[in-house]
Structure 1
Amino acid sequence: MDPSAQSAPKPPRLAAPVAALIGVLAVAIALAAGHLVAGFVGPSASPFLAVGNTAIDLTPLQLKDFAVRTFGTYDKLVLLGGMGLVLLGAAVVAGLLSRRSPLPGSIMAGALGLLGVAAVLARPDSGQLSVLAPIASLVAGIAVFRWLHSRALVRRGDASPEGRRTFLVALGATAVGAGVAGVLGQVLGNRIDVEGSRSAIGEIKPTTPAAPIPAGADFANQGTPSFITPNADFYRVDTALSVPRLRAEDWKLRIHGMVDREMTLSYDDLRSRDLVERTITMTCVSNEVGGPYVSTSNFTGVLLRDVLMEAGVKSGADQLFGTSSDGWTAGSPVDVVMEAERGALLALGMNGEPLPVEHGFPVRMVVPGLYGYISATKWLVDLELTTFDAKQSYWIDRGWGRLGPIKTMSRIDSPKGLSRVRSSGKTTVSGVAWAQPTGIAKVEVRTDGGPWQDATLAADVGNSTWRMWKVELDLAAGGHTVECRATDKSGFVQPQARVAPIPDGATGWHSAFFTVEK
């Protein structure tokens, strides 16, 4: 063996903390560069968001159901946080694998960059230039990783204060650059003044107002929600990681497919028509028995049936296929939408004001009596008359039920489960029931498996809204289990059998166990 080869010095090796920090900063600059370019070509092109949206699309139904049950409306925040932790871990691993050579980290950075490219290309709302964002992310990540790696090696060979200072300046410049690029990308992505557009619209005044909500429509002072849900409290369940930003003055709705006349409507076109106000309770199919995903609003808009009659629905069309500006789709049964008494809307307003941005501004669909996943497209930009055999919408393609009628349901709101109630006399139990569009005729309550007794119903506002109830129970001190069940106006009784929300809505009696203290 050649003695000179035996004594050849090993390549310099970076300290583990330094190598890991280089990996983290390279990933940070990659994400920031992609976010910055996305600010110019479209927010959905941001690789981080595109990968997140693709993850949502590819997640198995059972896992999605678990996420909604466990995290509720914070499910997207948990997803983004989880993705951030995974990227952080990948960045640290890339750095540690590259203590002698930048090649392993460069390969990992390239793989992550290509994943971003694939995710952006797969998005239905991505334009032709969207791919520039993940490409910028890929190039920036690899370039900065290799640059910092070379600076670290130089610093290792130069232990002087000046050498350390030069390397620290490089690290600091990278961190500051990532922060500035990320913030600038966010500013550019928000440059569409949606809030200004919404404010300029002013109050949404219906031509035909809804009937006033009668006194005694809720038992809010005894534990139920208020009858009308404030916009800020209205439930929100959707797949959007970033809320689409559409100005009313730019918005267009195309109506096409199996119609006699294709139509393209602007926001002004809709607002110039007769606006109808309807009090409607909306329910999410993901709602568990006793769950919170049900809310009521005064929606104002144009009757969808009237618009479709103008377009002329051709014989054989059985699906109204709605598309959001971010590519999400929902298919509603045409025969339901066209029912005159149903009152399906192209909604422009909620509770007297323009739709909140997170609830579909400028325009969304609202079809009473159908779960939102097949009827309530937000940020609506396209309606196609087609058939269920020809096209499958987002959730139907993932195995959910095709028709989605809302099931008869009731819920106990007060007392809360596992609570302790101080009572010197009778105990008030209250809640809500819904059976859109049939309406609620009766709610019954029983205690500890005993006989059913009728609850007192609040004023009846309409068949497409929820109905509050309460009952006074003479309960002894100690623990009690109370159950409720509703009967709709057709005579159908809420079934006892527990069925999970997916694929077409939960069933079962809601119960609450609480302790009475005398």
Structure 2
Amino acid sequence: MIRRTSAAAGTGLLAAAAGVAVAELLATAVRPQAAPLVAVGGAVVDGAPTPVKEWAVRTLGTYDKPLLLGGIAVAVIVLAALTGVAARRRPTLGLLGPAVLGIAGAAAALSRPDARPADALPALAGAAVAAALLRWLPLPGLPAAPGAAPDPVGVGRAASGADASGAGASGADASGADAAGSGAAGSDPTGAGAVRSRRRAATRRAVLRNSALVAVGTALAGAGTVALRRLNLADATRARDAVRLPAPASPARPLPAGVGPGFRTPTADFYRVDTALTVPRLDVDAWRLRLHGMVERPVELTFADLLDRGLIERDVTLSCVSNEVGGPYVGTTRWLGAPLAPLLRAAGIRAGADQLVARSDEGMTIGTPIATLLDGRDAMLAVGMDGAPLPFAHGFPVRMLTPGLYGYAGACKWVTELEVTTFDAFDAYWVRRGWAREAPVKTASRIDRPAPFARLPAGPVTVAGVAWAQHRGIAAVEVSVDDGPWRTAELLPTASSDTWVQWRFAWSAPAGPHRLRVRATDGTGAPQPEDRRPPFPDGATGHHTVAVTVR
């Protein structure tokens, strides 16, 4: 019994693997956004409550996406195994598993913001393949297929794990006949035992052949998917490598003397927080940006058009609203892009418009106050990062960047559309989930050295870190030891008010356990809030503290 149940579960897994492989191959060949696993994952991300998302970002970091996809794969495996077992007991039940997976995949694909009706086809095709294998193809652990040739002695059903009772001999009779046929030559004048043995062997060969064919077909479909994805990646990489960014019409000022090491974050280390389970790789030649809505003159730009608008180059610190106090989701680099304000003014913003909604290729929407974009800050449509075209993971070919706002309110990646509208008319993705409509970056500071729980020798110790309040700048940083008086730290030179400031503090460390705390004051004279608050709904506040032991 256990053996037959295990065989049936394995059959369910094999059928599901074949269905998923076909669905992924079809989606990869036609429209990768419609791949069922990614579509279901995207629907899970969209439907997850905000506290769950915050926990995932805080606890799992950049591993949240692969772990989510892995969890979905485990769920599919469990459902597939149960489907195989159910199909062994009652063949019609075997259709439920593929139906559930197909409907879930199709619904998820159609729920995506950029969905097309045809996006349901890969999931439905995969479900049809899995259902057909379970229903009509003899596989290990399942009953004989409907419409199979009559089998009066039940050899096919017995070989496949079903009860051999019915027309002809019962299971016990068949067993006895086998024994008689094998133990007494000439006692079976009709040769029924030999016929049963041949049929059983033929059925087993057919089952093994079918299983092998399905496994090979699944492997080929999987290999085809991998090959197509590698080909698509190679094509996209070649297209990105061929991009030649022009020199900026307004270059960034050289960094002042005295800037410390690590002022700019290497591109490979720059944080990434978004909802895209797979990184979009857009065709730069086919890319278009549409500016429309409450404007007098709608605009559509190609990538070449954007490069011709006269680019600006700026050092800017970008931070994520999900960053906890002292967290890693902040970085500084040199950006290159087309200034956004002249483009908006040229389009002619109509009276009453107060929000610019940026839409990405994968459906994300980000709303930014128009007044912020027009107040003189260097908001841009960025095309370059640290002297090179944007990496795919950071928005290639174009992303939006708004100094002084958290990323969710002004830094849309893979942007393809800008709509001028009002806050009353439209709530962007994160606003619909309870985050604030307007999100200026809060003043923050962080201790980077020494590390938490470090063991230090007694004597001179340099405490160092960064502080930021983009577009307002940092006027002062102070350090407190063991809740003692605040003492002023040294500020190193910085590029502008749109970047973080490096700071350091000379501490004569006595032996024993100690608690270091830091706070900053922004360029307007406002001190960093002391009350500890989580990131939701408009950014974390509080003083970063580090515990160390001095020996």
Q: TM-score, normalised by structure 1?
A: 0.93
* TM superposition shift of 1:461: 1.4
Q: Give the whole-Å Cα distance in 2 for the aligned partners of 1:427 and 1:150.
A: 71
Please say if 1:109 is aligned against 2:120. no
Q: Give the whole-Å Cα distance in 2 for the aligned partners of 1:41 and 1:367.
A: 35
Q: Give the whole-Å Cα distance in 1 for the aligned partners of 2:365 and 2:447.
A: 33
CA RMSD of aligned residues (A): 1.8
* TM superposition shift of 1:165: 4.3
Are the equivalent residues in 1 in contact too, given 2:459–2:510 (CA < 8 A)? no
2:503 maps to amino acid: W
- Give the secondary structure class of the aligned counterpart of 1:393: coil
Counterpart pick for 1:181 among 221, 224, 232: 221
Unaligned runs of 5+ in 1: 1-11, 221-225
* TM superposition shift of 1:140: 1.0
Please say if 1:487 is aligned against 2:521. yes
Are the equivalent residues in 2 in contact too, given 1:259–1:385 (CA < 8 A)? yes
Counterpart pick for 1:138 among 105, 127, 149: 127
Q: TM-score, normalised by structure 2?
A: 0.87
Match for residue 449 of structure 2? Answer: 414
- Residue pairs, 1:138-287, within 5 angstroms: 138-147=127-136, 150=139, 152=141, 153=143, 157-158=158-159, 163-189=203-229, 191-192=231-232, 193-218=235-260, 220=261, 226-287=262-323
1:417 maps to amino acid: P
2:374 maps to amino acid: M
Please say if 1:365 is aligned against 2:400. yes
Q: Which stretch of structure 1 is more off in the superposition, 199-208 or 114-123?
A: 199-208
- Deviations for 1:102-136, whole angstroms, at most 9, x for unmatched residues? 22231122112111111111112222322211111
> Could you say if the C-alpha distance between residues 204 and 105 of structure 1 is closer, same or farther in structure 2, counting changes exceeding 3 Å?
farther
> Could you say if the C-alpha distance between residues 466 and 146 of structure 1 is closer, same or farther in structure 2, counting changes exceeding 3 Å?
same
Q: Give the whole-Å Cα distance in 2 for the aligned partners of 1:77 and 1:13.
A: 34
- Deviations for 1:347-405, whole angstroms, at most 9, x for unmatched residues? 11001111101111111100000000011111110000000000111101111000011
Counterpart pick for 2:28 among 39, 44, 52: 39
Match for residue 150 of structure 2? Answer: none
- Give the secondary structure class of the aligned counterpart of 2:478: strand
Q: For the pair shown, which has the larger CA radius of gyration, 1 or 2? A: 2
Are the equivalent residues in 2 in contact too, given 1:204–1:354 (CA < 8 A)? no
Q: Give the whole-Å Cα distance in 2 for the aligned partners of 1:102 and 1:294.
A: 55
Q: Give the whole-Å Cα distance in 1 for the aligned partners of 2:362 and 2:268.
A: 23
* TM superposition shift of 1:149: 5.2
- Give the secondary structure class of the aligned counterpart of 1:97: helix
Please say if 1:376 is aligned against 2:411. yes
Match for residue 5 of structure 1? Answer: none
- Give the secondary structure class of the aligned counterpart of 1:515: strand
Counterpart pick for 2:8 among 14, 19, 36: 19
1:188 maps to amino acid: L
> Could you say if the C-alpha distance between residues 22 and 309 of structure 1 is closer, same or farther in structure 2, counting changes exceeding 3 Å?
same
Are the equivalent residues in 1 in contact too, given 2:139–2:208 (CA < 8 A)? no
Are the equivalent residues in 2 in contact too, given 1:14–1:156 (CA < 8 A)? no
Q: Give the whole-Å Cα distance in 2 for the aligned partners of 1:470 and 1:166.
A: 75
Are the equivalent residues in 2 in contact too, given 1:301–1:347 (CA < 8 A)? yes
Please say if 1:345 is aligned against 2:385. no
> Could you say if the C-alpha distance between residues 235 and 13 of structure 1 is closer, same or farther in structure 2, counting changes exceeding 3 Å?
closer
Identity of aligned residues (%): 45
Q: Which stretch of structure 1 is more off in the superposition, 242-251 or 98-107?
A: 98-107
Q: Give the whole-Å Cα distance in 2 for the aligned partners of 1:265 and 1:203.
A: 16
2:471 maps to amino acid: P
- Deviations for 1:180-210, whole angstroms, at most 9, x for unmatched residues? 2133234435554221111111355322210
Q: Give the whole-Å Cα distance in 1 for the aligned partners of 2:77 and 2:137.
A: 17
- Deviations for 1:377-436, whole angstroms, at most 9, x for unmatched residues? 111100000000001111011110000110000011111112222x25211111110001
Match for residue 8 of structure 1? Answer: none
Counterpart pick for 2:421 among 386, 390, 415: 386
1:136 maps to amino acid: A
Counterpart pick for 1:325 among 358, 361, 365: 361
- Give the secondary structure class of the aligned counterpart of 1:24: helix
Q: Give the whole-Å Cα distance in 1 for the aligned partners of 2:210 and 2:139.
A: 11
> Could you say if the C-alpha distance between residues 481 and 162 of structure 1 is closer, same or farther in structure 2, counting changes exceeding 3 Å?
farther
Are the equivalent residues in 1 in contact too, given 2:448–2:464 (CA < 8 A)? yes
Are the equivalent residues in 2 in contact too, given 1:458–1:468 (CA < 8 A)? yes
Q: Give the whole-Å Cα distance in 1 for the aligned partners of 2:131 and 2:355.
A: 48
Please say if 1:465 is aligned against 2:506. no
1:354 maps to amino acid: P
Are the equivalent residues in 1 in contact too, given 2:458–2:511 (CA < 8 A)? no
Q: Give the whole-Å Cα distance in 2 for the aligned partners of 1:309 and 1:144.
A: 60
- Give the secondary structure class of the aligned counterpart of 1:411: strand
- Give the secondary structure class of the aligned counterpart of 2:23: helix
Q: Which runs of 4+ in 1 moved over 6 A?
A: none
Q: Which stretch of structure 1 is more off in the superposition, 145-154 or 329-338?
A: 145-154
- Give the secondary structure class of the aligned counterpart of 1:281: strand
- Deviations for 1:70-127, whole angstroms, at most 9, x for unmatched residues? 1011111111111111111112222223332222231122112111111111112222
Please say if 1:121 is aligned against 2:110. yes
2:421 maps to amino acid: T
Larger relative contact order, structure 1 or 2 (CA cutoff 8 Å, min sep 6): 1
Q: Give the whole-Å Cα distance in 2 for the aligned partners of 1:186 and 1:314.
A: 48
Q: Give the whole-Å Cα distance in 1 for the aligned partners of 2:224 and 2:129.
A: 16
Are the equivalent residues in 1 in contact too, given 2:139–2:210 (CA < 8 A)? no
Please say if 1:449 is aligned against 2:473. no
Are the equivalent residues in 1 in contact too, given 2:444–2:520 (CA < 8 A)? yes
Are the equivalent residues in 1 in contact too, given 2:98–2:128 (CA < 8 A)? no
2:550 maps to amino acid: V
Q: Give the whole-Å Cα distance in 2 for the aligned partners of 1:476 and 1:163.
A: 82
Are the equivalent residues in 2 in contact too, given 1:205–1:352 (CA < 8 A)? no
Q: Which stretch of structure 1 is more off in the superposition, 250-259 or 126-135?
A: 126-135
2:506 maps to amino acid: E
